[in-house]
Chains A and B, each alone.
Chain A
Amino acid sequence: GAVVSQHPSWVICKSGTSVKIECRSLDFQATTMFWYRQFPKQSLMLMATSNEGSKATYEQGVEKDKFLINHASLTLSTLTVTSAHPEDSSFYICSARVRGRGEAFFGQGTRLTVV
């Protein structure tokens, strides 16, 4: 149980285009989802927290207009990188949690390369 699936696993896009990444909790209802970004050989940097049915809470320094997060249902959250630039190339990871339960379950991550 507690499986979180991200799609796609990797994506290459042209500079200036937008990319959508999906995060699904397959066997539980996730009231909260987190989006992280991981740079090579560095830790996970929390980008935003999203609760089902409400607006995402972004961490300081994260552009909400660039990284659009939607958490429309209890099993799906999406991250859209708008007008992507090469510096947006990174590994994006989502995690999902049931409210009131401390642990979070992680997706396998999405490697985004912007050329």
Chain B
Amino acid sequence: AQSVSQHNHHVILSEAASLELGCNYSYGGTVNLFWYVQYPGQHLQLLLKYFSGDPLVKGIKGFEAEFIKSKFSFNLRKPSVQWSDTAEYFCAVGNRDDKIIFGKGTRLHILP
């Protein structure tokens, strides 16, 4: 059965700090991986996705994620966070024709 595990439930950082949020998955077959973000009071938005090709994926707002197949991981990174990055971040797994399953989310709080 497919599953997604996010290691950090709540992360607090100061502005300009570097960020890495962990995500591990379990999935049989061709995998698509996603990171979604939910800003306070807003709906889910896609940050980035991996379907195939270059395992280093760049998304919006300076975020990137690296797919490491051998580790079943898809960690999210940003070299220098901003106060506006305060949000909840969800890792998700699926494929083009199957359901998308979400991790439990990581609440990121950036101190100004």
Contacts and interface: CB of A to CB of B under 8 A. Distances in A.
Contact size class for B?
20 to 34
16 contacts: A34-B100, A42-B104, A43-B102, A46-B99, A46-B100, A46-B102, A93-B44, A95-B44, A99-B96, A100-B96, A102-B95, A103-B34, A103-B46, A106-B43, A106-B44, A108-B43
B100 A95 contact: yes
Q: Is the interface of A mostly helix, strand, loop or mixed?
A: loop
Interface residues of A, number: 21
Contacts of A104: 100
Interface of A: 34, 36, 41-44, 46, 49, 93, 95, 99-109
Interface of B: 32, 34, 36, 42-46, 49, 51, 90, 94-97, 99-105, 107
B105 to A, nearest CB: 5
A44 B94 contact: no
A103 B44 contact: no
B34 to A, nearest CB: 7
B4 to A, nearest CB: 9
